Amino acid sequence: MAGLECKPSANRTIPALSLHSFHQHASLAVPITFRRHSISLRASPKQYRFRHGIVPHSLVESKAAVAESRGEQLFQLQEGQSRSSHQLPSGLKIEVIEHPASSSVEEIRPPLVFLHGSYHAAWCWAVNWLPFFASQGYDCFALSFLGQGHSDIPASRIGGTLQTHARDVAHFIKSRALKAPVLVGHSFGGLIVQHYLAHVATESDEPSLDGSGGWEEPYPVLAGAILACSVPPTGNGPAVLRYLMSRPIASIKVTLSLAAKLFTSNESLCKETFFSADMSPSLVQMYQKLLAESSKVPLINLRELNASLPVSPPSKNAPPTLIIGAENDFILDMQGNEETAKAYGNNLLVLPATAHDIMLDIRWRDAAEAVHFWLKENCSHRKGQAKFQVTSST
């Protein structure tokens, strides 16, 4: 393999890297193609070809075993991690799992705030991604929305709405951020990020408390955003109709798994919904148990959600945004990823041989390394700039 050829497509200079230096400095096993720039292999073994890039399949298999060792530790906080609660203006508290940066780097990297999807909680990031990104110099914070994980349960017995969840995130960021973070949302958490992006502030804006216990729009500024296997701006409805027409059996399975919550009792259905076929049964069983316990009440009222869709376009102040899709996603089809990418600048990365839960799946590291590379190119702060407050609020 001769090396890597970088092809800038904008007014950017990206030096060509040898394979050795590329892995040493970017730790990237997955070549990606973005709208702003592209990186491709001159020669590669067996490849998957996508509209937005070429990804060699052989490279994504090399680190699969790492996920097994992580999964064996479920679920205990790892060294350097802590769990606390962040009190909202309403008096309710949301769970925060924190993992401070553990490596010294030339650049001060932005803090990362991770938001989970339906039936998940902060723990889903703490298993693999928080340790990985902390080791790369990022202060990491994973939140559990109200009614999920160890967060408080609202009296309504519903977690909230797109707006109230985004306001809770905004309050956390406003209370804790000394510098703009990158907001990472997975699945339904991605839709909440999209609502945030529609109302993100300028540097001069000063968000203030409103009467309902959250931050008024506009929301605090961001250094970047990542939408991973995200619900598209129009919601899941169009994807459900496409599934019903083209893959009726898959459509029935998705409905039974998620709407009827059969993933909590059927191991095979849980695996097919969230994980790759080659994930070990022991990992699936442990994750299934955690998923079953994560959601105490519905994350959102679906009727209210449908009335609020589609999500408004990103504001003119929205930061650089990366959209990630997974080739073997059982929940979201590629057309849904492309819809989201079109709304946010067409920066779409498609992960080969990867299932919906990219942060827990057998190839989680490849996804994390690709994200790390994008963050360095698009969201790094210069040395000397301030970072997040690491001391947790209680």
Nearest CA to 264 out of 290, 301, 299, 282 is that of 290
User: How confident is the model over 238-256, as pLDDT tens digits?
Assistant: 777 776 666 777 777 777 6
Contact residues for 224 (Cβ-Cβ < 8 A; gap 6+)? 110, 182, 183, 319, 320, 321, 322, 375, 378, 379
Ranking 72-86, 151-165, 352-366 by mean pLDDT, the lowest is 72-86
**Tokens 């059969």 belong to which residue?**
262
What is the C-alpha to C-alpha distance for residues 115 and 92, in angstroms, rounded to an integer?
A: 18
112 in Cβ contact with 141 (< 8 Å): yes
In the predicted model, what is the mean pLDDT of residues 143-162?
A: 96
pLDDT of amino acid 104? 65
**φ, ψ of residue 113 in degrees (nearest 5):** -115, 120
Farthest CA pair distance, the chain = 61
Nearest CA to 133 out of 104, 106, 101 is that of 101
pLDDT of amino acid 132? 96
**Tokens 């039936």 belong to which residue?**
119
200 in Cβ contact with 182 (< 8 Å): no
* The residue type at 156: S
What is the C-alpha to C-alpha distance for residues 373 and 360, in angstroms, rounded to an integer?
A: 19
In the predicted model, what is the mean pLDDT of residues 126-146?
A: 96
What is the C-alpha to C-alpha distance for residues 39 and 32, in angstroms, rounded to an integer?
A: 6
Question: How would you class 259 by CB atoms within 10 Å of its CB: exposed for 0-12, middle for 13-18, buried for 19 or more?
Answer: exposed
In the predicted model, what is the mean pLDDT of residues 220-227?
A: 96
Give whole-number Cα distances, 28 to 11, 40, 59, 118, in Å.
23, 12, 10, 29
Nearest CA to 177 out of 207, 145, 217 is that of 207
What is the C-alpha to C-alpha distance for residues 193 and 153, in angstroms, rounded to an integer?
A: 21
pLDDT band for 105, please (50, 70, 90 cuts).
Answer: low
| Three-state helix/strand/coil letters over 347-376 | CEEEECCCCCCCCCCCCHHHHHHHHHHHHH
Is the pLDDT at 229 greater than 70? The verdict is: yes
Contact residues for 106 (Cβ-Cβ < 8 A; gap 6+)? 383
* The residue type at 294: S
109 in Cβ contact with 100 (< 8 Å): no
pLDDT of amino acid 250? 72
Is the pLDDT at 196 greater than 50? The verdict is: yes
pLDDT of amino acid 379? 87
Strands of 69-164, DSSP E: 82-87, 93-99, 112-115, 140-143
* DSSP for residue 223: S
139 in Cβ contact with 101 (< 8 Å): yes
Q: Is the pTM of this model over 0.85?
A: no
pLDDT of amino acid 76? 87
In the predicted model, what is the mean pLDDT of residues 108-137?
A: 95
What is the C-alpha to C-alpha distance for residues 118 and 109, in angstroms, rounded to an integer?
A: 29
Nearest CA to 22 out of 376, 302, 293, 393 is that of 376
**Tokens 């067409």 belong to which residue?**
346
In the predicted model, what is the mean pLDDT of residues 204-217?
A: 50
**φ, ψ of residue 143 in degrees (nearest 5):** -110, 150
Question: How would you class 157 by CB atoms within 10 Å of its CB: exposed for 0-12, middle for 13-18, buried for 19 or more?
Answer: exposed
Q: What is the DSSP string of 2-49?
A: --EEEEE-SS-------HHHHHHHT---S--B-SSEEEEESS-SSEEE
Q: Which residue has the higher pLDDT, 283 or 386?
A: 283
Hey, is 50 helix, strand or coil?
strand
